[in-house]
C-alpha cells in the first residue's frame, strides 16, 4: 500500500470538495473493502477522506418510505426495529453478508460501492479491464466459477458481490447522493452499469460524489419477501447464486413479482421479462419454471459457471415455491 494522506472533515460538503479536487482521492467509510483493495494493489489513492463519522447514520421511517443514512452500519440496519418487520428481505440479505465483525464496521453506502471479488481484478498481474482499462480480461479464459452468466461481454464478466444491492434492487430503492454539483437522486435501477467497453466504471457516481442515503419504499402489508443465498460453505462467503423476491398475490394470482438476482450477473440483476411472465398468472411450479427460463434466455455461460444457469432457476423455484400452496 502506498503512503497516502488522510483527513476526516466535519461536513459532507467539505468531504466532497476534498475528493473532487484531486483525481487520486477517495472516500473511506467502513474501510472493509477499500483497505483490501489498496493492500492488493487493485486501487491506489494519494488521499483518503474519512466520512465514517459524518452525521449520516440515521434511519427514519416517514411517508411509507424508510430512509437509511449511508453511514448506517450493516448490523444496525439489519436489526433496526422497522427492518425485520417491514423489510425482512433487507434484513435477511444483510445478515447473510460477510461476518458479524464486518457488519458492525461496514456502511450501507460502502456496501453498495464494494468492488467485484473477481480474483483476476484483485490479483494484480492478471490482465483486467476493470483495474487497468485496455489490458484485457483474464477471466474470459480463466477459472470462472464466480463469474457472471448475464450482463457480461468481451471486456468483463465480473460479478457485483453485494447481497444488499440485490435486495434493494428488488425493493426498488433509490440512492441519494451529494457531489460537487450538489445533491441528486438516482434509482438503483440506473445506478449500476453494465461493463460494456468501460468495465472500470462500476456505477453512476461521479468522482467526488458520495452516497448520503438509501431510500426504500415499504411494501404493503401482506407482501411476501425472501432472500435466498446459495454458497459453497454454510456462511461467511459471497453468493454463488442469490435470489431476492418481493411478491404480492391476490388469491393464487400474482399481482406483482419483483425478482432480483446475485452471483449470476455483472450487476444486481432484474429481468422485466421474467417478472412479466408471472404477472397476472397463477403462482404455480410450472409458471415459475417458465419465468426462470425467460430469466436465463440470454445467458452466456462458460465451462466453470454453466451450472449457474440451472441453479438460479432452481433457486427461483425454491424461493417462490413456498407460496404456491403446492400448485404445479
Partner 1 sequence: MNTDVVGRPLSRVESRLKVTGAAEYTADVRVPRLLHGFMAMSTIARGRITRIDTRAAEAAGGVVAVYTHETMPRLKQPTYRPFFKPFIPIQSPEIHHAGQPVAFVVAQTLEQAQRAAELVEVEYEETGRPLGELAMGVPFLAPSGPDGPNTFERGDVAEGMARADVRVEAEFTIPMHHHNPIEPHATTAVWKGSKVTVYETTQALGNTQHVVSEALDVPLDDVRVISRYLGGGFGSKGPVWAHTVLACAAARAVGRPVKLVLSRAHMFTSNGHRAETHQRIGIGATRDGRITALDHVSTQQVTRGDVALFNSSEPIRMLYDIPHLSNVQRTVRLDLPTQSFIRSPEACSSHAQEAALDELAHALKLDPVELRKRNWSSRNMADGEEWGSNYLRECYDRAAAKFGWSRRDPRPGSMRDGGELVGWGMATSAHTAGGRPGSGARMTFDVRGRARIQVGTHDLGTGTYTIMTQIAGEVLGIPVEDVLFELGDSAFPLSYASGASTTAPGVGTAVNRVCSAARKAVIEMAVSQPGSPLRGVPAERVDTGDGHLFDTADRRTRVSYRSVIGHGGKPLHFEVEPVDTPLGYSTGAVFVEVRVDPLLGRIRVTRVVGCYDPGTVLNRKTARSQVLGGIIWGIGFTLFEHTLVDPATARIVNPNLSGYLIPVNADVPDIQVQFIDRPDPASDALGARGFGETPMTGVTAAIANAVFHATGKRVRDLPLTQDKLL
Partner 2 sequence: MPEHSRRNVLKSGGAAAAAVMAPLPDGPRPVTAPHQVRQAAQPKAVTDLTLEVNGERHRLEGVEARVTLLDALRERAGLTGAKKGCDRGECGACTVLADGRRIKACLTLAVMQDGRSITTVEGLARGERLHPVQEAFIRRDAFQCGICTPGQIMSAVACIEEGHTGSEDEIREWMSGNLCRCSCYPNIVDAVADAAKAVR
In the complex, what is the shortest distance from the CB of residue 310 to partner 1, in angstroms, rounded to a whole number?
5
Q: What does DSSP say about strands 25-28 and 224-230: parallel, antiparallel, or unpaired?
A: unpaired
Query: Position of cell 449457474?
Result: 308
C-alpha cell at 272: 422485466
Question: Which of 53, 65, 206, 252 is the binder for partner 2 (CB under 8 A)?
Answer: 53
DSSP E strands: which ranges in the chain?
A: 5-7, 25-28, 47-50, 59-62, 65-69, 174-179, 182-187, 210-217, 224-230, 241-250, 253-262, 269-270
How many amino acids of this chain bind partner 1 (CB under 8 A)?
35
Binding mask 225-254 for partner 1 (x = CB under 8 A): -----x-xxxxxxx-x--------------
The angle subtended at Cα 175 by Cα 174 and Cα 181, nearest 5°, is 130
Question: Which of 17, 104, 119, 311 is the binder for partner 2 (CB under 8 A)?
Answer: 104
Q: For residues 15 and 283, which CB has a smaller minimum distance to partner 1 in the complex?
A: 283
DSSP state for residue 235 in the 8-state scheme: S
In the complex, what is the shortest distance from the CB of residue 157 to partner 1, in angstroms, rounded to a whole number?
14
Q: Is 20 in the site for partner 2 (CB under 8 A)?
A: no
Q: Return d(Cα 128, Cα 190) in angstroms, integer.
A: 24
Query: Position of cell 425472501?
Result: 226
Q: Is 4 in the site for partner 2 (CB under 8 A)?
A: yes
Which of partner 2, partner 1, none is residue 119 near (CB under 5 to 8 Å by kind)?
partner 1
Residue 80: which residues within 8 A CB-CB, separation 6 or more? Answer: 59
Question: Which of 52, 318, 323, 327 is the binder for partner 1 (CB under 8 A)?
Answer: 318
Q: Is 300 in the site for partner 2 (CB under 8 A)?
A: no
Between the CA atoms of 260, 263, 268 and 269, what dihedral angle is there, to the nearest 10 degrees?
A: -50
Binding site for partner 1 (CB under 8 A): 1-3, 41, 117, 119-120, 123-126, 138, 141-143, 145-146, 230, 232-238, 240, 307-308, 310-311, 314-315, 317-318, 321
Binding site for partner 2 (CB under 8 A): 1-10, 14, 18, 28, 30-32, 35-36, 38-39, 47-50, 52-55, 98-102, 104-105, 234-236
Amino acid at each position: 500500500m502506498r503512503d497516502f494522506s488522510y483527513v476526516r472533515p466535519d461536513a459532507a460538503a467539505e468531504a466532497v470538495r476534498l475528493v473532487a479536487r484531486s483525481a487520486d482521492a477517495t472516500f473511506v467509510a467502513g474501510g472493509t473493502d477499500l483497505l483490501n483493495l489498496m493492500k492488493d494493489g487493485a486501487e491506489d489513492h494519494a488521499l483518503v477522506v474519512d466520512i465514517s463519522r459524518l452525521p449520516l447514520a440515521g434511519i427514519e421511517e416517514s411517508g411509507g418510505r424508510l430512509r437509511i443514512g449511508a453511514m448506517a452500519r450493516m448490523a444496525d440496519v439489519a436489526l433496526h426495529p422497522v427492518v425485520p418487520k417491514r423489510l425482512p428481505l433487507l434484513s435477511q440479505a444483510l445478515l447473510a453478508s460477510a461476518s458479524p465483525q464486518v457488519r458492525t464496521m461496514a456502511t450501507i453506502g460502502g456496501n453498495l460501492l464494494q468492488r467485484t471479488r473477481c480474483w483476476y481484478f484483485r490479483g494484480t498481474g492478471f490482465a483486467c479491464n476493470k483495474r487497468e482499462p485496455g489490458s484485457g480480461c483474464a477471466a474470459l479464459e480463466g477459472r470462472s466459477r464466480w463469474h457472471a452468466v448475464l450482463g457480461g461481454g468481451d471486456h468483463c464478466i465480473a460479478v457485483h458481490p453485494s447481497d444488499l444491492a440485490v435486495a434493494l434492487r428488488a425493493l426498488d430503492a433509490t440512492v441519494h447522493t451529494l457531489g460537487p454539483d450538489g445533491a441528486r437522486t438516482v434509482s438503483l435501477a440506473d445506478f449500476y452499469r453494465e461493463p460494456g467497453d468501460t468495465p472500470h466504471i462500476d456505477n453512476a457516481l461521479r468522482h467526488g460524489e458520495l452516497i448520503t442515503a438509501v431510500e426504500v419504499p415499504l411494501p404493503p402489508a401482506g407482501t411476501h419477501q425472501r432472500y435466498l443465498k446459495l454458497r459453497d460453505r454454510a456462511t461467511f462467503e459471497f453468493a454463488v447464486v442469490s435470489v431476492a423476491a418481493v411478491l404480492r398475490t391476490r388469491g393464487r394470482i400474482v399481482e406483482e413479482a419483483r425478482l432480483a438476482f446475485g452471483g449470476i450477473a455483472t450487476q444486481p440483476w432484474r429481468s422485466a421479462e421474467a417478472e412479466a411472465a408471472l404477472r397476472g398468472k397463477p403462482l404455480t411450479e410450472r409458471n415459475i419454471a417458465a419465468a426462470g427460463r425467460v430469466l436465463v434466455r440470454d445467458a452466456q455461460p462458460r465451462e466453470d459457471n454453466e451450472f449457474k444457469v440451472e441453479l438460479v432457476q432452481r433457486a427461483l423455484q425454491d424461493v417462490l415455491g413456498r407460496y404456491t400452496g403446492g400448485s404445479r
